[in-house]
Structure 1
Amino acid sequence: MAGQTRHTRPPRGFMRAVLICPPLHSHLRAFEALARAWTRKGHEAIFLTEPGVVLEGDMRQAILPGPVLRPQSRTLLAEILAGARRTDRLCRDAPALLRDLSPDLILGDQMEPASGLLARALGLPLASIACAVPMDPEPGIPLPFLGWPHDTSAQGLKRNAGGERIAGLLLTPQNRVIRHWARHWGLGDLGRLQDCLSSDLTLSQIAPGFDYPRPANGGHIVQLGPFRQGQVTQDFPPDIRPDPARPFVYASLGTLQSHRAGLLARIARACRQAGVQVLVSHAGSLTDGQAGRIPADWVRSFVPQQAVLARAALCITHAGLNTALECLAAGVPMLALPLTHDQPGVAARIVQSGTGLRLHPWQRGSNRIADAVATLLADENFRARARHFAAEAASWGGAAGAVDAIEARFSPRRSAQAS
C-alpha cells in the first residue's frame, strides 16, 4: 500500500493499529504473527517500515520515503549506530504518514524507541512488544544484555546501576536521538530507551514463570509465550537417523551467530567426548569447507527445529529467546553459551528456572562443554523442570492472547473517544 493513501475508519468497536518493528528476522516474524491474530479479530494492521523490508504473507505496509539502507555490520557499534539512524528517520518521516493513516494505537517493538516517541507526540495509545527479554525497569533485575542474577540487595542494586551507566555510554548515539526528538516535541526529560516504553501495556513473548519476578513495576506486563506457537507442522529430516541407544543432542547458535565455526567445532568434539550423537545446524552461515571440518554426526544448514527438539535429549544453544522458548515448549533442557544482545539475560533465566546450565566465554573449551553435557544428561531435575514448562505450554496466550490484552486495555478508551 502507498504510505500516502488515506483509509476509511473501520467499523465502530474495531481498531486500526500501526506496527513499528526493527528489521530483525525474529522480531518481524513475531510481529507478523501478532498482525495475523489482530486481523482475524476484525481489526486492521499496518506495518510502518523502511524501504526494502519484506514481510511474509499478505501484510499491509506503509513505507518511509527515501533509499533502502545498506546491510549493517554484525559489530555492536555498527548495530547501535544503525539503530540510532533508524530511530531518527522514523521520528523525522513517520508523523506525516501516521496522521494520514489515522491509527487508533501503535504496537511498538521495545527495541525501537521511535514507537514510544511517536505515540507520545501524536497522543496515541502505545502497547510495547517485548520480542526479547522485557526492558521494563524493575528493582533487582539487570538489563537484558547482562547475565547477572535477580538481586534486590543493596549490592545487587548498586551493580545494576553500574551496568546501566555503562549501557548509557554505549548507547550514546541512540540516546542523543531520543533526547533531540523529545525536546523537539516537548515530551519532557526522555533520554534512554526505557523512557520510551509503554506504562499501560507490555506484551512479552517470554513464557510465564521464566522471567525474574517483577512485583514493583510488572503489573502491566503480560507474559504470553511465543506469538508464533503452534503455526507450523514439521517432519523430522528422513536422512538423519539417531541411534535410540545413545542420547541425541541438537546444537545451534541461531541465525546471526552460526558463523562461529570454531565454537561449533568445539561443541561437536565435546559431544563426542561425552559419548553422545550431535546434530549441528549453522543457518547457512558456513561454507561447505567450514561445515565439513565440524566433527559432528550431522551438519546441516537448516533443520526443522521444532521437529528436531521433539527428539532431542538436550539442546546446546546461544540462548536466543526464540530457541529457549521452543526448548521449554518441547521439555528439552539447555546448555546455554550466550554470545551477544539479550542472550546473557536469557541464559541467566535458564539457570534460575532450573532448565539448564550456562557456560561463560572463558569456560568453552571442549572438556568443559563435555562435562556440562554429561551433567545435564545425568541429572533428571533439568529435564523435569523443562517438562514442567512443556506441560503448561498449551495454556500460553501467544498472539491471540496478545490481542485479547490489547482489546481489554484499549477498546474502552476508543469507545469513550468515539462517543
Structure 2
Amino acid sequence: MARIAFICPPFAAHLASFRGLGEALRTRGHEPFFLLNAGAEAAVGDIPVHHVAARDGDPDVARVLVAAEKPGGLVATLRTIADSAALTDQLCDGGRTRLEALGVDAVVGDQMEPAGFLLAKALDLPFVGLACAVPIDPAPGVPLPFLDWPYEPEAEGKHRRTSKIAAALSRRQNQVIAAWGQRFGIGPLASLTDCLGPVQIAQMVPALDLPRPEPLPFVPVGPLRRPEELADAPLPFALPDKPLVFTTMGTLLGGDLNLWRVLAKASREAGASLVIAHGGRLSDADADKLDVHHAAAFLPYRAVMEHAALVITHGGSNTVLDALACGVPLLIRPVGFDQPGNLARVRHHRLGEKLASPRRSGLIAEQIRRMMADKAMKTRCQAVAKALDQAGGAKRAAEIVEAALSA
C-alpha cells in the first residue's frame, strides 16, 4: 500500500481525470490524495483533498478559474500564465513540508503543473507525469498544443519560431521553475518541458494524436474514467425519433444563449434533434425557451453519446475523448487552451470538422446534415473508439504508477 499525492491545476476536467486514476489505485489498495492550491475546491468523491497555505499576494483561485474561462488575446494569455506561475510558486513554497507531514510515497503530477515534478524531486520520490490534455511533449512537425495548425514535418523553422514566442510569453512561469529547481537542488531547469519526467501517462492515443516518432515519450492509456462513468446510465429524456445531436460547450460557452439558438435552428433544418448540456450556465427560463429536444445543466455524457449521431463541442480533451470512445464524429468550436490542438488532431484523422461561424446557421445545418450521412467518417471514428478501448484506461494507468513505485 502506498500513499500517492496528486498535484494538478484546480480545473474540473483535470480533477476528473485524476479522480478516475485515483479510484483505480484505491481498488488496488493504495491511498491517493490531492494536494491543491489554497482555496481550490474539488469534487473528487471520497478521495482526500489537502491544501497548501495561502500567502499574502497570492491570486485567489476562484478568480483565476473565472478569468481562465475567458481566454482570448495576448493580455488574457499573459494573465493566465502569470496566474499559473503564482499558483506553482505557492505549491512549491508550501508543498514540501505539507507532503512530509502527510506522509507520501510517490507523486503523480499534471503536465501543466510543474510543482508535482519539482516537489517529487525535492523529496526524492517516484514521479509519474500525467497528460490530461494534449501532451506538451515536443515532436518534429507537431505544433504547440494551443494551436490548430496541421502536422507539418517540413515546417520546422516555423515551429522553432513559435516555440521561441511561446517561451517569451511563458517567461514568468519559466522563472518560477528555474528558481525552485535551484532552491531544491534539482539542477538547471528552464521550462515546463524540463519537468515532464521519464515516466509519463497520456489520455491521448496514437489513433487520435498527430504523428510522433517511436518510442513515444508517454504511455497512451486513453480516457481515465470511473466505472460508473463508463456504465450505461438512464437518460432523463426519451430518445427522439430523429437523429440525436448532442452538444456541450463546457463552462467556456455554456451561457452563450445566441449560440444555443443557432445550433437549435441548424439542427432542426438538418432534420436532427438537439440535446444540450449547458453546465449550469443557463437559467431554467432561458433553457426552456430553446426549441430543442432536451436541455439540462448536466447529463451522463457517455450514455447520451452512445445514442448520438454527432457531437458539437468546444473541443475540451475529455469531451473529445468521450465522443470518440463512443465512435461519434465531432464538430468543434475551439476557444482556447488545448481545444485548438484537439481540433487539429480531429481534422488530421478526418474525424470531424471545425464548426462554421454562428453567423451562418445555414452552413452549420449543412455541416450537420453532411456529417451525419458520412459513413466513412463514422467508420474512422469507430476505429478510434476501438483504439481507446484497447489502451487500458484507468486500470492501465494505475499499473504504470505501481511499477514506478518499485522501480
Structure-1-length-normalised TM-score: 0.86
Quote the Cα distance in structure 1 between the aligned partners of 2:226 and 2:90.
33
Give the superposition deviation at 1:86. 0.9
- AA matched with 2:220: Q
Quote the Cα distance in structure 1 between the aligned partners of 2:339 and 2:300.
22
- AA matched with 2:399: D
- AA matched with 2:112: M
Q: How many residue pairs get matched?
A: 392
Instruction: After superposition, give the CA deviation of every residue in 1:37-92 in whole Å (9 maximum; x if it has no partner).
Output: 12322233232123443343332333212377443223343433321211010111
Equivalent residue number for residue 220 of structure 1: 217
Quote the Cα distance in structure 1 between the aligned partners of 2:253 and 2:338.
13
Q: Summarize the alignment of residues 2-17 of structure 1 with structure 2, pairs less than 5 Å apart.
A: 14-17=1-4
Task: Confirm whether residue 92 of structure 1 aligns to residue 93 of structure 2.
Answer: yes
Quote the Cα distance in structure 2 between the aligned partners of 1:144 and 1:250.
25
Q: Is the 8 A contact 2:15 2:42 kept in 1?
A: no
Quote the Cα distance in structure 2 between the aligned partners of 1:294 and 1:174.
43
Structure 2: any 5+ residue segments left out of the alignment? none
Q: Is the 8 A contact 2:42 2:49 kept in 1?
A: no
Task: Confirm whether residue 58 of structure 1 aligns to residue 39 of structure 2.
Answer: no
Equivalent residue number for residue 167 of structure 1: 166
Give the superposition deviation at 1:224. 0.7
Q: Is the 8 A contact 1:268 1:278 kept in 2?
A: yes
Q: Summarize the alignment of residues 7-406 of structure 1 with structure 2, pairs less than 5 Å apart.
A: 14-52=1-39, 53-66=41-54, 69-72=61-64, 73=67, 74-76=69-71, 77=76, 78-153=79-154, 156-198=155-197, 200-215=198-213, 218-228=215-225, 230-232=227-229, 233-243=231-241, 246-359=242-355, 365-406=360-401
Quote the Cα distance in structure 2 between the aligned partners of 1:119 and 1:237.
43
Instruction: After superposition, give the CA deviation of every residue in 1:257-290 in whole Å (9 maximum; x if it has no partner).
Output: 3122222222222222222221222111022454
SS of match in other structure, 2:228: coil
CA-based RMSD = 2.3
Quote the Cα distance in structure 2 between the aligned partners of 1:113 and 1:26.
18
Give the superposition deviation at 1:151. 1.7
Residues 269 and 371 from structure 1, CA distance in 2 versus in 1: closer, same or farther, beyond 3 angstroms? same
Instruction: After superposition, give the CA deviation of every residue in 1:233-254 in whole Å (9 maximum; x if it has no partner).
Output: 34443534401xx322111112
Q: Is the 8 A contact 1:208 1:225 kept in 2?
A: no
- AA matched with 1:398: G
More deviation, 170-179/123-132? 170-179
Greater than 4 Å deviation, 4+ residue runs: none
Residues 410 and 219 from structure 1, CA distance in 2 versus in 1: closer, same or farther, beyond 3 angstroms? farther
Quote the Cα distance in structure 2 between the aligned partners of 1:379 and 1:347.
18
- AA matched with 1:187: I
Q: Is the 8 A contact 1:204 1:221 kept in 2?
A: yes
Computing the radius of gyration over CA atoms, which structure comes out larger, 1 or 2?
1
- AA matched with 1:214: R
SS of match in other structure, 2:275: strand
Quote the Cα distance in structure 2 between the aligned partners of 1:402 and 1:62.
23
SS of match in other structure, 2:399: helix
Quote the Cα distance in structure 2 between the aligned partners of 1:373 and 1:35.
38
Quote the Cα distance in structure 1 between the aligned partners of 2:99 and 2:233.
43
Give the superposition deviation at 1:293. 5.0
Report the identity percentage: 37
Structure-2-length-normalised TM-score: 0.88
